[in-house]
Every structure is written in structure tokens, then in C-alpha cells.
């Protein structure tokens, strides 16, 4: 089935509920027959026709205001307002309008100033809303030199483009369609009437992905999602099921309005579309809430279990916002579990609030400064959402004379497992007679962890679940790479526990421990629940709890390890980290954190003096107001840390602005600060380990015990999606009690990742979690996978002498296979480079940035072969596949991961060009051939393919002695800053000669100039039959056919009949256009 045939089927299905075939139309499922269908408008093919269609609908929707059709001048005002929408975020604001009604302002020629309604969100799937489908809309190039485009399918609501669909045939990767839409964004094609597009859909017969429209610089296919089935969250692949589920009416309209997020976060404004599980969770809550009887029903609506990192804030906001619009709801209160998170939650909610704009201080979301403010806002008659904390609510209900307002209030509780299991929370629930409570949590409490206070007991039944396992499988969060290290080896631990043992006895015990681990028989000693303590853990437990705290070199060794392996874990500084420290039992918790801070300051100073890289480090903990013995010491330490921070970032915080200081630290860690001066690492005790969202944080250093929900929450700070090639997993490094901490991790994952694994041993759980991608594989297993991929690459790139990594395979199928293997190679190399070197079983494993050749050798390649594979062959493959697919090279998705960084310097290129000019001048033919080969290798290694082609053309001009144009004596030298000028001039000479040769060859020298051909090709889209849209090619052919017998310089062309000449010249012009625009 061709793309055109598939496109026709999709349009037919959406507009008729049937699939049009050459014989009998295939009926659809009964689901579609009862739904509203899209109206197909085959006559609309241009942007102007789209505007006229929108104009007619706008006039019809507003006929009670307008007494005549809009004049040209009047409609120009409408067009201007839409064309001024510069980003999808602004378009989303426009489409939402005010309280869900989108309008345009028009000064009518009769003197009236009117507001014309474009959308009314209350009319989704109902009323006068118009649903249309168009295809093959012509989009002329908006940037000089770019190609004209055609959009496959566009879904219009009330005449405006809302969903754009690019269709691909079965044999084409659906990601190619996403790449194509990214290219459209780069070319400013989502402008004028198409500025209102909200959702992009990439569809092939057996795979579909959708994403929110975005600006070209923020386009990230990691945020393109598959649809999922409601019952089990399984992935929907077939296009027809996707059309039934997501493109039907009213669902498509709901997705583009109710289930869109206008994220107004400062510096990161963007449009977001909800993922299927978020939609289903929101629907589950609203469906149960709509008929709720606040007078007689119990107060427990239910809870949502969505794994940490899967977007609970967005889900809870949409639920709260949509619930506040229900007729049976008077007020919605969003409750966080501690005061420190109130500001962050309020800012998130405020950023998502479509009713808030730059001129509106509050919008629909309101914070509470204190209990007096909370009391006042609860009494207000508006339906604004209130954000507050459990602590403020408890203080309010305990206050003298408090009486809850007689309102139907919905309480939405974030992280429902933490501060909601005590008597205080029961008191709050009892105080609000007409209330209903909904819980959101990534780590619900179950029987065996909560001493009877289960999440279900507090909030009611589970309404929707989405676990770590499902989220990782769907690529909505990352898995974890977890290391368990100790700064003190087992030999020292045994010596401390048994001071009377000699070295021989200690060695015997160490061998017994190693043997036990080797046999995976960790069943020794007393049991703890279903777990039996291993020898290693038994030794750890025999030591004093403060063993690590009292070991002087512990902190120094941890900081040394962080610096030593920073390049690997941070992906060469691209990502940042948290360090969480031990929480003391009855003593203060901050001294150890400050020891780390002081050690980082000391090491940074030493490294700076040695010219080595340093880390920007901060620490955050609460001001101590307890009046206990440690208060003065703790606050003095905080003051010292803030002073250091002020010097580092030119800020002016103090002990009177600790809250503001903490917020600033958070903004530099999650990279939202205005000055873009970011932190590398932040030291915390408990802060930021729950609820803090930073996609570019990828590592958590742990010097403490974590378990159960706290472990999952803390680990999940690292596994947000950013760039899945550059950030393949969240990294966790534990520095104390390694045996015990690994067991606690396995137990936590057994509860929150896969409840069915509770009966498995620790080793079995570990293997299951690695298989499911929850835990990263060991270095050697990833290396083995990479070796297998390299072996396949070697086979596919053999030349006739069976030498690997030398040339591309011949067939199209093999080239596609090579592309797939290269993508796998890139992902695996990116992972391998993030494993630091360490000794495992007396062998060194991991990647050494100072010796990258070692990994190349381990993979079975030479340095030259790796360079050939990742530069020359990868570049050639993109070119050939683009030619086969008839698309531009830029649309082939292949971003190479280099083991050894490829250094591209202009100095080297200048040196090569100088060398080539002098060798040509001195007629050194052998040296010319070698230098030409060196330049070709240099060009093949460039990411900028157009620049590479310019270098090749310049090289050709030099070899043909067409450049330099002026004679010279002695050695030719290029001046500093002259390189680009030389490339431009020499490249133009070659291009002009190619065009002149072409004109002479076909006998059209006097008919069209080289400049005329350039202008003809300027808007050509590679592989498309678009050159003769204005009949320019036909005109050249008609004149050429009269003179080619005389003017053509090629005798074979002269010998052609007129009919054959016409066909051959048309084909030749198309081939030349493709050759010159392929990059």
C-alpha cells in the first residue's frame, strides 16, 4: 500500500466510518457508527482556500452579531490576530480564550467594535462546532532557498487547523514522519493559519505516535507517545484502533483542549499534551465525581497510583481544574504534604492555569499565605483552586471557633502516602462535612508497610494505576543504574568486629562471603520477614550505626569518587546531581552535610590551583528554630554556606531569606534560573527528595539508608526524560552499608514496580528488574550487546575483500538494517560511556575518558574503523537513504555517538586547502590525490551536510585550477578569517561551471541563465515533481527543442528525436535539482 493509498483510507475512515477500497467499502466497528464524523473537504488545497473556509464558518457561528459577510478589510483584522501567534503556546492561549471562549476583535465598517467567537469549550462535540478534514494542502516556502511543502492530512475545528497528520507507508519508520514535521517547524511552516496547530500525529499502518506542537528548538521525539488501551495500558499500534480511540469526535477535540497543558513556566513556555494514562486517570476521577452526592456519600472518592516521574502534577492539576468546572462542586483545594512544597506546587499550578495571563496576577489558582488567608479563601464564592498544606489545614480546623463553610469541597491531595496517615488528617476530614477526598501518589501504602494505615483506608478504592514497570516500558520514565560502594572494605569491617582474628582467619571469612555471593545463596542467619540475612549484611549490622560517620576518611573518599567519575556520570558535564546525607537518630542531621560541603570547597580550591575542572556546589537545609543545643551551630553553618553561595552567584541572601535562598538553589538545579548559571551538585538531608522535578538531573549520591517509599521517591529524582540517547538512565551511587542497601532497594522495587515479585529471592528480583529495564545491566552485559551490534555492522559494511567498515551495503533492505544497527550502536555507546572505571572480580570495567581507544578495542574495532563508521559511512548512509526515500538528508534521523571525540578545526581545514592549492600549482599529482582524500574524510565527518558539500565543491574548483582566480608566486597562504570567503567563492565557481556545463550539454545556454536555474531550484523539494508548477520547465523545453540540434555540445543529445529530447531534458532538470538540494 502506497502512502497515497494509506492516506486515502485514513481520510475515508474518519469521514465516512468506512475504508474505501477498489471493491466494496469495509464497514467500521459499531463504535464509529454512533459517533459524529469529520466532513471531508477535497476542494480545499491551498492556504487561501483554508482562510476562506474559516471565514465562512466564523460568519455562520456569529450570524447573530454580523448582518453581512465580513469585508476584506474586516477579515484582514481576524487574519492578523491569528498570524501574530508566534508559538504553539500562544496559540493554545488564544484557543482557550477567556473562561474557555476564544474570540477575535473586529472593528466593523458600520462603526461597531465586536467580539466574534471562534471556539466555545462547552460546545465540544455538540452545538454548532464544525469538524472538517482536508489533505495535501500546498505550503509555499517561507524561507528563501527552502522547499515548497504539502501537508498530508489536517483536522480542522471550526475551520482552524488543530491536528496535523503525516502519513507513511508500512515499510517506513513512523519517526520519519516526526522528523518531517520537525523540518516543517524549522522552515516556519506552522505560521499564518497553521499557527493554531496543537497536536502532531505521525501515522503508519502499524504504528502511531502523537505529540504536542512545539517550536523547532524544543522539538524532541522522546515526548511523542503511543496511545494505550484503557484496561491494561497496553500500546495501541494499529492506525484504525488509534483513529477510533483518539481521532474520533469528541475525543480529538477533548485532547486538543481539555487534555492540553499550557505550561507557562518562566523560560520554558510550551504546549504539552497529556499521555493516555493521564487522560484515563482524569476521566476516572471526573466520572465518579459528577454524580457524587456530597450530602450523603462518604468522603473517600479514591486514589490514583501513578509512579513518580510520570507527570502526576499535570494529571492532578487537570483533574482539579476540570473538577472546579463541575456544577456540583463549589470549591477545589489542592493539598500538599508539607509547607516547603506549597510554593513549588502553586507555581506549577499557576504556570498551567489557562485563565492566567501576564496581566492577571492570580488567574484561577490561589496560594494561601497563612491560616487566616486560607479561611478567607475557603469562604469566597468564586470557584478558584486553592493551594495549601496539610499543616495549614490542621492549624485552621484546630483554631478556636472554626466552622467549615457550607460548600461542596473537593480536596485533591498530592503524595497521599506521607502526611495523611495520622489523627490530624482524620480531624481535617471530619471538619469539612460536605467534602470529598482524592489522593495522588507514586508510592501508596499497602498492608505490610503501613501498620494498617493503608492508602485505600484513607482515600478509598484505587481508581487508576500506572507503575514504574509500565512507565519504563512506555519510555515515559527511565530505569536506574544503581551502584553500591563502600569507602571501607570488608576486610576492615571484619577486623573491627573481630580484633582477635589474624589475617588468615579474616581471609577465610572473606572467601566464605565471596562464595556465598557467587552461589547466590544469601540464606544465612536470622530471618526478617521473608528475608534471611546474608553473611555480608550480618557483618554490617554488627557494627556501630555511626561507623561511617566516625570514619575520618569516609567523606574525603566519597568526594574523591564524585570528582574522579564526574565526566562519566554527568555525561561530560551535561547533567547535574544531588547528594543526600545520613539522618542522625537523636543528634543533629546537618553536621555531616556540612562536612561534605566543606570538603567540596577545599577540593575545588586545590583543583582550581592545578587547572582542573571544579564543581558548582550548594547545600540546602532548614533554619533551626528549635532552641535546642545544636541550633546555633546549625544556623552558623547555614550562614556560612549561604555566604559562599552569594559569592559564587552574586546573590544577597541571608538567614532572614532562607526560603528565597532555597528557591534560588532549586532554580539553578532544575535549570529554570534566568541567568542560566546552573549548579552541578546540591547537598541535602531530606529536602528535594520528593516532589522536586529536574529533567536534567541524572545522578543521586546516597550516603545514608533509604527504604520503601522514601527510596522510590528519592531515586525518582533522577529518572525524568530529557534526551534518551544522552540520558539513558538515572544513576544512583550508594556509599554505605552496600549489602543492606541493595536488599532494601530490591524490596522497595518488589512493592512498587512489580507486586508479583514479593516471593522471589533478592537475586531473582534483581534479574527480573534488569530484564524489564528497571535496573541497568552491568557494564559487561551492555558491552556484550554492543559487540553483537558491532559484529552486525562489520558484516554489513564489508568490501569485496571482506574488509569491514569500508563501504555501504548494496541493497535498500541492507541499508535500512544498517540504519537500525547504527541507532542501536549509538544508544549502547552512550550508555557505556556513563559507566565509570572500577575493579570488579579483579578486572577493570568501565569507560575511561582519558583512554577511549580501550573501549574501541574491546568492541573489536580499530580507531580508524570507528572513525570511518561514525563519520564517513554514517554520512554516506544518510545521503543514500535520503535519495531512496526522496526526502532531504536532514530528515534522516541518525545522531552518532562517538567513543573518541571527533575534533573539527578550521585550522586543519585551512591547512589542507593551502596544501592542495600549492600541490596543484606545483603539479604534484600523487600528493594532490592524497590531500583530496584527506579533505573528503574531513567533509564526511561533519554534521553540517550543506557545509560539507560546499567544501567538496571548493576542492573541485582548486583541482580544476579555477581557484584561486588570481596568479600567485611561491607558497599560497590563507589569511586568518578568510576560510569562509574562500569556500564560498571556490564553491560558487564549481556550481557555476556545473550549471554552464549542463546548459551547454542540452543546448539551452541562450535560453536560461545559470542564475535562472538557481532561482528555479531555490524552492524545490527533494524528490518532488514541483519544478514545473509555474510552467517554467515547460517553457525551457519548448524553446530548447527548437535549437538543441545546433546548440547542444553533446552529439548524443543532438541525435535525439524531439519527443525523446523533451522527456530526457525534463528528467535531467529534475535530477540536477535533486543533486543541488539534497542537503
SS (H, E, C) 491-522: HHHHHHHCCCCCHHHHHHHHHHHHHHHHCCCC
Domain segments of the chain: what residues? Answer: 3-45+125-273, 276-466, 490-542, 554-771, 779-891, 942-1077
Identify the top-confidence range among 127-131, 145-149, 606-610, 733-737: 606-610
Cell of 729: 538512565
Q: What pLDDT does 519 receive?
A: 44
Helix (H, G, I), strand (E, B) or coil at 281: helix
- How far are the Cα atoms of 5, 782, 1002 from residue 789, in angstroms, in the given order? 36, 11, 48
**How far is residue 93's CA from residue 836's CA, in Å, rounded to a whole number?**
46
551-586 pLDDT, tens per residue? 778 999 999 999 999 999 999 999 999 999 987 655
Q: How does residue 172 score in pLDDT terms, banded at 50, 70 and 90?
A: confident
pLDDT at 527: 38
Q: Which of 306-320, 368-382, 385-399, 563-577 has the highest mean pLDDT?
A: 563-577
- What per-residue confidence (pLDDT) applies to 629? 56
| 763: pLDDT strictly greater than 80 | no
Using only the alpha carbons of the chain, give its radius of gyration. Answer: 33
Estimate the share of the chain in helix, then strand, then coil, as percent rounded to the nearest 5. 45, 15, 40
How far, in whole angstroms, is CA 62 from its chain's centroid?
41
Higher pLDDT, 370 or 10: 10
Per-residue pLDDT tens for 949-970?
888 888 988 998 888 888 887 7
Question: How confident is residue 69, by pLDDT bands cut at 50, 70 and 90?
Answer: very high
CA distances from 530 to 527, 535, 769, 1008 (A): 7, 16, 19, 86
Cα→Cα distances 481→229, 473, 766, Å? 30, 16, 12
Among the residues of 432-502, which ranges form H helices?
A: 447-450, 455-459, 468-473, 490-497
Check residue 30 and give its pLDDT: 38
Q: For residue 472, what pLDDT is reported?
A: 87
Q: What is the predicted pLDDT for the residue at 24?
A: 37
What's the pLDDT score for residue 269?
86
| 97: nearest Cα among 348, 354, 273, 365 | 354
Query: What is the C-alpha to C-alpha distance for residues 862 and 899, in angstroms, rounded to an integer?
Result: 12
Q: What angle do CA 475, 478, 483 make, to 5 degrees?
A: 155
The DSSP-derived string for 926-973 is HHHHHHHHHHHHHHHT-S-HHHHHHHHHHHHHHHTT-SSSS---SS--
* Most confident stretch, 177-191, 335-349, 748-762: 177-191
Task: Retrieve residue 1005's grid coordinates.
Answer: 545556454
Closest to 691 measured CA to CA, from 415, 282, 278? 415
Q: What is the pLDDT of residues 972-1031, one digit of tens each?
A: 887 777 788 888 888 888 888 889 999 999 999 999 998 899 888 877 766 667 788 788
CATH of 276-466, one of 3.40.50.720, 3.90.1150.200, 3.30.70.100, 3.40.50.300: 3.40.50.300
What average pLDDT does this structure show over 96-102? Answer: 85
Distance CA 213, CA 185 (A): 9
Reduced to 3 states, what is the DSSP secondary structure of residue 87?
Answer: coil
Per-residue model confidence (pLDDT) at position 545? 66
CA 763 to CA 740: how far, in whole Å?
13
pLDDT higher than threshold 70 for residue 92: yes
**CA–CA dist 241, 244 (Å, integer):** 5
Tell the CATH topology of 3-45+125-273.
tt1808, chain A (3.90.1570)
- Quick check: helix, strand or coil at residue 981? helix
For residue 962, the model assigns a pLDDT of 87
- Tracing cell 508566534 back to the chain, one arrives at 86
Show the cell assigned to 270: 510550551
Q: What is the mean pLDDT of residues 369-381?
A: 88
* Per-residue pLDDT at 33: 37
Given a cut of 80, whether residue 529 has pLDDT beyond it is no
Question: Once rounded to an integer, what is the mean pLDDT over residues 137-142?
Answer: 90
Residue 759 has pLDDT above 60, yes or no: no
- Measure the CA angle with vertex 45, ends 44 and 49; round to 5°: 55
Average pLDDT estimate for 716-742? 90
pLDDT at 1061: 94
Q: Which band of pLDDT confidence, cut at 50, 70 and 90, is reported for residue 195?
A: very high
| Most confidently modeled range among 269-273, 512-516, 1028-1032 | 269-273
Question: DSSP state, 370?
Answer: S
pLDDT band for position 774 (50/70/90)? confident
Residue that the C-alpha cell 578568510 belongs to: 978
Count of helices and strands (H, E) across the chain: 41, 31
- What does the alpha-carbon distance between residue 952 and residue 967 come to, in Å, rounded to a whole number? 22
769 pLDDT more than 80: no
Residue 227 · residue 203 · CB < 8 Å: no
The answer to whether 160 touches 53, Cβ cutoff 8 Å, is no
Whether the pLDDT of residue 876 is over 70: the answer is: yes
> Average pLDDT, whole number, for the chain?
85
Cα separation of 912 and 907, whole Å?
A: 9
Is 3.40.50.300 the CATH classification of the domain at 554-771?
yes
Element (H or E) spanning 606, and its range? helix 590-609
Topology match between the domains 3-45+125-273 and 276-466 = no
Identify the helix (H) or strand (E) that includes residue 366.
strand 365-367
> Where do the DSSP E strands lie in 182-336?
199-204, 207-212, 227-228, 235-236, 260-263, 270-273, 300-306, 331-336
pLDDT for res 524: 29
Is the pLDDT confidence value at 906 over 80?
A: no
SS3 100: coil
Strands 131-139 and 149-157: antiparallel
Q: 910 CB contacts (<8 Å, ≥6 apart)?
A: 974, 979
Calculate mean pLDDT across residues 268-290: 94
C-alpha cell at 935: 579533505
* Confidence (pLDDT) at 408: 95
Determine what percent of the chain is predicted with pLDDT higher than 70.
87
Q: Which of 67-71, 126-130, 550-554 has the highest mean pLDDT?
A: 67-71
4 near 97, Cβ under 8 Å?
Answer: no
| pLDDT value at residue 23 | 39
- Give pLDDT, residue 528: 46
Q: Inform me whether the pLDDT recorded for 235 exceeds 80.
A: yes
In sequence order, what are the residues at sequence separation of 6 or more whose Cβ sits closer than 8 angstroms to the Cβ of residue 909? 935, 938, 951, 979
d(CA 826, CA 1013): 40
pLDDT at 32 over 50: no
pLDDT band for 631, please (50, 70, 90 cuts).
confident
List the one residue out of 310, 211, 209, 270 whose CA is nearest residue 695: 310
Of the pLDDT bands very low, low, confident and very high (cuts 50, 70, 90), residue 541 is low
Helix (H, G, I), strand (E, B) or coil at 441: strand
> Where does 46-148 show beta strands of DSSP type E?
101-107, 113-120, 131-139
What per-residue confidence (pLDDT) applies to 135? 96
User: What is the C-alpha to C-alpha distance for residues 980 and 950, in angstroms, rounded to an integer?
Assistant: 10
pLDDT band at 525 (very low <50, low <70, confident <90, very high): very low
What pLDDT does 790 receive? 97
Percent of the chain predicted with pLDDT > 90: 49
Residue 340 above 70 pLDDT?
no
Average pLDDT for residues 655-678, to the nearest whole number? 92
Greater pLDDT, 254 or 843? 254
Q: Which run of H or of E encompasses 982?
A: helix 979-1002
The pLDDT of residue 495: 74
Beta strands at 331-336 and 385-389: parallel, antiparallel or unpaired: parallel
Q: Is residue 230 scored above 50 in pLDDT?
A: yes
Residue 644 φ/ψ, nearest 5 degrees: -60, -40
**Taking a C-beta distance cutoff of 8 angstroms, is the pair 1079, 1020 a contact?**
no
448-478: pLDDT as tens digits:
554 557 888 889 999 999 988 888 888 888 9
Q: Which of 147-156, 177-186, 664-673, 880-889 shows the lowest per-residue confidence on average (mean pLDDT)?
A: 880-889
Cell numbers linked to 1018: 531555490
- Alpha carbon distance 644, 633 (integer Å): 17
Amino acid at each position: 500500500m502506497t502512502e497515497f493509498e494509506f492516506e486515502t483510507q485514513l481520510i475515508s475512515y474518519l469521514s465516512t466510518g468506512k475504508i474505501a477500497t477498489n471493491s466494496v467499502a469495509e464497514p467500521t466497528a459499531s463504535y464509529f457508527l454512533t459517533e459524529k464524523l469529520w466532513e471531508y473537504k477535497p476542494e480545499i488545497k491551498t492556504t487561501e482556500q483554508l482562510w476562506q473556509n474559516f471565514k465562512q464558518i466564523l460568519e455562520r457561528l456569529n450570524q447573530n452579531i454580523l448582518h453581512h459577510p465580513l469585508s476584506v478589510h474586516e477579515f484582514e483584522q481576524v487574519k492578523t490576530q491569528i498570524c501574530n501567534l508566534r508559538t504553539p503556546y500562544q496559540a493554545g492561549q488564544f484557543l482557550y480564550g477567556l473562561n474557555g471562549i476564544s474570540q477575535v476583535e473586529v472593528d466593523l465598517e458600520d462603526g461597531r467594535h465586536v467580539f466574534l467567537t471562534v471556539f466555545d469549550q462547552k460546545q465540544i462535540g455538540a452545538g454548532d462546532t464544525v469538524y472538517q478534514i482536508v489533505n495535501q494542502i500546498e505550503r509555499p516556502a517561507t524561507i528563501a532557498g527552502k522547499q515548497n511543502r504539502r501537508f498530508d492530512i489536517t483536522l480542522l475545528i471550526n475551520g482552524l487547523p488543530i491536528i496535523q497528520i503525516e502519513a507513511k507507508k508500512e515499510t517506513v519508520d513512523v519517526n520519519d514522519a516526526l522528523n518531517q514535521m520537525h523540518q516543517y517547524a524549522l522552515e516556519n511552516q506552522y505560521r499564518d493559519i497553521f499557527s493554531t496547530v496543537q497536536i502532531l500525529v505521525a501515522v503508519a499502518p502499524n504504528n502511531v505516535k502523537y505529540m504536542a506542537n512545539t517550536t523547532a528548538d524544543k522539538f524532541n521525539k522522546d515526548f511523542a507517545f503511543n496511545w494505550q488501551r484503557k484496561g491494561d495500558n497496553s500500546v495501541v499500534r494499529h492506525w484504525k484502533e488509534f483513529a477510533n480511540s483518539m481521532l474520533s469526535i469528541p475525543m480529538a477535540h477533548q485532547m486538543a483542549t481539555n487534555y492540553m497543558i499550557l505550561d507557562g513556566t518562566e523560560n520554558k513556555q510550551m504546549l504539552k499534551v497529556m499521555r493516555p494514562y493521564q487522560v484515563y486517570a482524569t476521566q476516572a476521577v471526573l466520572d465518579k465525581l459528577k454524580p457524587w452526592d456530597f450530602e450523603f456519600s462518604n468522603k473517600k472518592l479514591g486514589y490514583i497510583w501513578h509512579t513518580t516521574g510520570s507527570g502526576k502534577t499535570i494529571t492532578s492539576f487537570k483533574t482539579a481544574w476540570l473538577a472546579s468546572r463541575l456544577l456540583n462542586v463549589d470549591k477545589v483545594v489542592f493539598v500538599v504534604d508539607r509547607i516547603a512544597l506549597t510554593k513549588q506546587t502553586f507555581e506549577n499550578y499557576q504556570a498551567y492555569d489557562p485563565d492566567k495571563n501576564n496581566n492577571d496576577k492570580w488567574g484561577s489558582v490561589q496560594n494561601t499565605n497563612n491560616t487566616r488567608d486560607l479561611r478567607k479563601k475557603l469562604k469566597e464564592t468564586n470557584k478558584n483552586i486553592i493551594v495549601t498544606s496539610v499543616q495549614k489545614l490542621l492549624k485552621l480546623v484546630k483554631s478556636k471557633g472554626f466552622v467549615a463553610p457550607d460548600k461542596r469541597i473537593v480536596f485533591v491531595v498530592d503524595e497521599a502516602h506521607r502526611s495523611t496517615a495520622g489523627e490530624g488528617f482524620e480531624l481535617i476530614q471530619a471538619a469539612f462535612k460536605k467534602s470529598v477526598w482524592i489522593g495522588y501518589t507514586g508510592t501508596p501504602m499497602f498492608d505490610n508497610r503501613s501498620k494498617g494505615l493503608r492508602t485505600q483506608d484513607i482515600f478509598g478504592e484505587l481508581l487508576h494505576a500506572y507503575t514504574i514497570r509500565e512507565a519504563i516500558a512506555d519510555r515515559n520514565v527511565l530505569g536506574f543504574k544503581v551502584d553500591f560502594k563502600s569507602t571501607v572494605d570488608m576486610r576492615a569491617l571484619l577486623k573491627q568486629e573481630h580484633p582477635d582474628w589474624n589475617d588468615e582467619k579474616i581471609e577465610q571469612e572473606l572467601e566464605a562471603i565471596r562464595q556465598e555471593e557467587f552461589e547466590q545463596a544469601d540464606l544465612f542467619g536470622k530471618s526478617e520477614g521473608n528475608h534471611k540475612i546474608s553473611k555480608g549484611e550480618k557483618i554490617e549490622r554488627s557494627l556501630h550505626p555511626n561507623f561511617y560517620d566516625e570514619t575520618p576518611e569516609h567523606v574525603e573518599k566519597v568526594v574523591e569518587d564524585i570528582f574522579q567519575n564526574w565526566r562519566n556520570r554527568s555525561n561530560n558535564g551535561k547533567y547535574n546531581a544531588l547528594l543526600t546525607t545520613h539522618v542522625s537518630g537523636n543528634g543533629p542531621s546537618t553536621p555531616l552535610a556540612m562536612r561534605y560541603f566543606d570538603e567540596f570547597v577545599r577540593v575545588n580550591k586545590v583543583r582550581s590551583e592545578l587547572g582542573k575542572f571544579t564543581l558548582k556546589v550548594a547545600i540546602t537545609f532548614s533554619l533551626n528554630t528549635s532552641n535546642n543545643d545544636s541550633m546555633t551551630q546549625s544556623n552558623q553553618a547555614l550562614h556560612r554556606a549561604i555566604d559562599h553561595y552569594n559569592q559564587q552567584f552574586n546573590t544577597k541572601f541571608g538567614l532572614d531569606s532562607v526560603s528565597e535562598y532555597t528557591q534560588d538553589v532549586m532554580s539553578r538545579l532544575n535549570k529554570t534560573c534566568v541567568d542560566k548559571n546552573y549548579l552541578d551538585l546540591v547537598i541535602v538531608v531530606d529536602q528535594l527528595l520528593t516532589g522536586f522535578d529536574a529533567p536534567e538531573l541524572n545522578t543521586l549520591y546516597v550516603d545514608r539508608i533509604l527504604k520503601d517509599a522514601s527510596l522510590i521517591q528519592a531515586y525518582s529524582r533522577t529518572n525524568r526524560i530529557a534526551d534518551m540517547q544522552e540520558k539513558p538512565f538515572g544513576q544512583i551511587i550508594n556509599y554505605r552499608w552496600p549489602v543492606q542497601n541493595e536488599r532494601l532497594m530490591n524490596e522497595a522495587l518488589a512493592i512498587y514496580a512489580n507486586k508479583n515479585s514479593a516471593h522471589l529471592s533478592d537475586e531473582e528480583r534483581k534479574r527480573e528488574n534488569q530484564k524489564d529495564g528497571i535496573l541497568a545491566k552491568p557494564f559487561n552485559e551492555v558491552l556484550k550487546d554492543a559487540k553483537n551490534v558491532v559484529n552486525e555492522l562489520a558484516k554489513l559494511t564489508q568490501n569485496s575483500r571482506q574488509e569491514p567498515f569500508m563501504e555501504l551495503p548494496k541493497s535498500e533492505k541492507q541499508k535500512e538494517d544498517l540504519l537500525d544497527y547504527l541507532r542501536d550502536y549509538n544508544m549502547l555507546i552512550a550508555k557505556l560511556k556513563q559507566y565509570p572505571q572500577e575493579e570488579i572480580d579483579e578486572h577493570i570495567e568501565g569507560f575511561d575518558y582519558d583512554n577511549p581507544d580501550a573501549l574501541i578495542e574491546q568492541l573489536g574495532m580499530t580507531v580508524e574503523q570507528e572513525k570511518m563508521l561514525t563519520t564517513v559511512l554514517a554520512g554516506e548512509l544518510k545521503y543514500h537513504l535520503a535519495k531512496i526515500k526522496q526526502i532531504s538528508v536532514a530528515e534522516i534521523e541518525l545522531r552518532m555517538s562517538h567513543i573518541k571525540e571527533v575534533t573539527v578545526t578550521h585550522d586543519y581545514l585551512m591547512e589542507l586547502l593551502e596544501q592542495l592549492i600549492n600541490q596543484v600549482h606545483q603539479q604534484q599529482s600523487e600528493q594532490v590525490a592524497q590531500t583530496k582524500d584527506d579533505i573528503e574524510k574531513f567533509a564526511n565527518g561533519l554534521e553540517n551536510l550543506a557545509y560539507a558539500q560546499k567544501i567538496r565543491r571548493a576542492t573541485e574548483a582548486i583541482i580544476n585550477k579555477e581557484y584561486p582566480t588570481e596568479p600567485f608566486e611561491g607558497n599560497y597562504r590563507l589569511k586568518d578569517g578568510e576560510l569562509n570567503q574562500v569556500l564560498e567563492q571556490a564553491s560558487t565557481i564549481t556550481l557555476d561551471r556545473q550549471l554552464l556545463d549542463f546548459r551547454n550539454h542540452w543546448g539551452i545556454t541562450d535560453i536560461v541563465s545559470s542564475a535562472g536555474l538557481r532561482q528555479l531550484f531555490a524552492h524545490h523539494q527533494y524528490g518532488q515533481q514541483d519544478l514545473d508548477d509555474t510552467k517554467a520547465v515547460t517553457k525551457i523545453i519548448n524553446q530548447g527543442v527548437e535549437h538543441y540540434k545546433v546548440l547542444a555540445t553533446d552529439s548524443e543529445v543532438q541525435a535525439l528525436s524531439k519527443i525523446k529530447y523533451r522527456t530526457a531534458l525534463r528528467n535531467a532538470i529534475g535530477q540536477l535539482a535533486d543533486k543541488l538540494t539534497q542537503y
